[in-house]
Amino acid sequence: MPIVRGQGQISLNPHLSYFVDSTSNLGLEEIQSKEFLPLKAKASAKIYSFGYTHDAIWFKLNFKTGNVIGNHFLQQRRWYIHHFDLWLFEIGSPKVQYFESGSLVAIKDRPFPHRTLVQSVKLNSNREYQMVFRGKTEQIFDIQMILWSERAFYNDNNFKILGDGIFYGGLLLMLVYNLILAFNLRDSAYFYYSLFLGNALLSIATLEGHSLEYLWPSLTFWNIWAFSLIRITGVVWIILYITTFLKTKEREPRLHRIFQVLVFLVLLNFPLAIFLPISSIQGLVNVYGFCGLSVLLVAVIRIYRAGHKETIFLVSALVIYLLMMIAILPRQLGLVNNVNFGMNAVKAMHIFDIMMLSLALSGRIRKIRKERSDAREALILETQRHTNELESKVQSRTLALEEALFEATTIQEKLIDTQAQMAQSEKMAGLGTLVAGVAHEINNPSSAVQIYMYNLKQDLAEFKKSLFDLAAEDSSKEVLDFFNNHFDKVHYKITQVEDASLRIKTIVEDLRSFSRLGEDERSPSDIEEAILAIKRLIIVQYGDFVKFEENFEVVPKLECWPALLNQVFMNIMINACQAIVSTGKIGNLHISSWVQDDDLVISFEDSGCGMSKKTQEKMFDPFFTTKPVGEGTGMGLSIVFGIVQKHKGTMKVHSELGQGTTIILHLPTQKNYNFELRLKDDTNT
């Protein structure tokens, strides 16, 4: 039984006992009655491996504490265990510390946010504890349990971060350098070598858990397949690199055909990954990788014997790669449990291979440079000869070409001017015809109404005067008041008709003004006024089924394309109303706006029928619609999405089937557009 003194680290593997749960259904209480076997892990071994297994494996450990200080950390360094549950019991105390983790749990949701499986535990001094944990995975089942003091854990973690930073930084620099060489030299061998470098970088990052931490923190399910599929692409890149570098298509055509078949078989693993378990995919990758590297080694040796001495570096790289594959095969098959090498050995192998492949390419650079230098000298000599012959012809034709160019330029400028004038004339002619027709048809009767209303007011005034003159002083005050009231009502109605005719005149003037505006011109728009105007338009059709609610925290004016935003608001509000009507019940459409992080946020929340996940995934696709044939084109939300993007905004949708839909627009206010913000006046609400 180990004793924890609170200093440094303790490897727990040699002290563990285990039980294999072939049903994967046993619980903690059921497992307590089972007989656990000693793990027989060697103290010198870094990892204890079970190979590929679909069983759940339980582990148990009893230990004592000395005078411990501060928190401790339990770490399973092999992070690719998919499900990992740990219970820590203090003997004689009812308290239990329980932790649920695993590679299928996002790092931010783990008991301790770390790329490996880490739990922070509280240990009391001079106590006895029992630790029980359970693991299940479709990857290789490896165990490397370590109990750390708090200080030792953070020191080790910081040291590893520094080492990984240097390692990844070096690989990234090599990747960038070789990509630059690939584009400058236009050599496909350098391009495939760069892809191999990137694949090696991604492979190690995935095996170490850094990909989950930084590249796809939310795609935990991808961890099951990531390393295997990355290895598949790695085999493809190294085959393509070496066959291109050695030009096997010309030098070894028979072996080259074998390489083509191998590349096809390796790529076939991508669709097979949908149907086969991960252990089978790993096995196929090992078989294809071993066969491919073996055939590559044969080809390299044959070409080396033919006199190409630079291939000795490729021989070294392939031999190390094959030895590493042979070394890890017993572990994958579960034939070797105690593993003495870890990620440092894998990194060293990758560094050695990268160095050997890079040294092979360095000789290629010298050869390419010499070939280009010779070609450049030959080209200079040939160019000088042709220059002397062409110089006289060029001089004789230069004057003719200059004259022709001047004439062509003059004609082109005239054509461009004429085309622009014709396009502008056609545009203005069409718009002028439309405005003239509308103005003529509306303005003439409007003017007539104004004239006759003016005459009617004069006649009414004269009639009133004549009537009162006839009545003179003989009429009673009640009669005179009666006539005055009726004349005032008629005068008021005439005034209303005059105002309406003036409004018609204003509309005509607005139409003329519109004809002078550009289609792409931005202008300040009152968002609240625009939304309320659209509401007044659609409430006529949907007012019996939809109750509109507004909550505008601000009265914003946004520099935008008003017509396009009106189309966005109209489409969203009509869709919301139709969703409410489809439920057969009276519903609510709540519209609100506020400012958040320099964005104007507008929310449309309805109580309609909502959308399924499948519908939400396709709702912005052109021509997708849930409406019956003939009732919708499926372009509405696609156009809306494009308009919002044109305003450099974003559009978020939250919906549940049967629960309603909320659409939230974020429109930038300060970065790209002018924005005026005034506090909402509650007295005018």
Distance, in Å, from the CA atom of 539 to the CA atom of 425, rounded to the nearest integer, reads 41
* Per-residue confidence (pLDDT) for residue 683, from 0 to 100: 41
* Per-residue confidence (pLDDT) for residue 633, from 0 to 100: 46
Nearest residue to 352 via CA among 323, 329, 321, 326: 321
Structure tokens at 442: 């509306």
Distance, in Å, from the CA atom of 365 to the CA atom of 373, rounded to the nearest integer, reads 12
Contact, 46 vs 339, CB < 8 A? yes
Nearest residue to 607 via CA among 568, 569, 578, 631: 578
* Per-residue confidence (pLDDT) for residue 441, from 0 to 100: 67
| Average pLDDT along the chain, 685 residues, taken 10 residues at a time | 71 92 90 90 85 90 83 88 91 88 88 90 88 90 90 90 88 87 82 88 86 84 78 83 83 83 79 74 76 80 78 80 77 75 74 80 70 76 78 78 80 61 45 57 73 76 75 68 78 77 62 43 79 82 89 76 82 90 90 87 91 81 62 62 86 89 86 49 43
Rg (CA), the chain: 41
3-state SS of 128-195? EEEEEEEEECCCEEEECEEEEEHHHHHHHHHHHHHHHHHHHHHHHHHHHHHHHHHHHHCCHHHHHHHH
Structure tokens at 232: 């598949």
Residue 671, classed as helix, strand or coil, is coil
**What confidence tens digit (pLDDT) does each residue in 180-238 have?**
888 887 888 888 888 888 888 888 888 888 888 888 888 877 877 787 788 788 888 88
- Is residue 144 classed exposed, middle or buried when 0-12, 13-18 and 19+ CB atoms within 10 A define those classes? buried
Distance, in Å, from the CA atom of 627 to the CA atom of 646, rounded to the nearest integer, reads 27
Distance, in Å, from the CA atom of 94 to the CA atom of 123, rounded to the nearest integer, reads 14
Residue 675, classed as helix, strand or coil, is strand
**What confidence tens digit (pLDDT) does each residue in 441-452 have?**
677 677 777 777
Q: Which residue's structure tokens are 């549950």?
A: 85
Amino acid letter for position 476: S
Average pLDDT, the chain: 79
- Which residues is 119 bridged to in the sheet? 74
Distance, in Å, from the CA atom of 103 to the CA atom of 211, rounded to the nearest integer, reads 12
Sheet of strand 145-149: strand arrangement: 9-11, 145-149, 72-76, 117-121
* Per-residue confidence (pLDDT) for residue 425, from 0 to 100: 41
Contact residues for 656 (Cβ-Cβ < 8 A; gap 6+) = 610
Structure tokens at 359: 């040294």
Distance, in Å, from the CA atom of 542 to the CA atom of 577, rounded to the nearest integer, reads 7
Residues in the chain: 685
Nearest residue to 502 via CA among 441, 458, 443: 443
Structure tokens at 282: 């790993």
* Per-residue confidence (pLDDT) for residue 589, from 0 to 100: 92
| Exposure b/e, 75-110, CB count within 10 A at least 16 = b | bbbbbbbbbbbbebbbeeeeeebebebbbebebeeb
- Is residue 635 classed exposed, middle or buried when 0-12, 13-18 and 19+ CB atoms within 10 A define those classes? middle
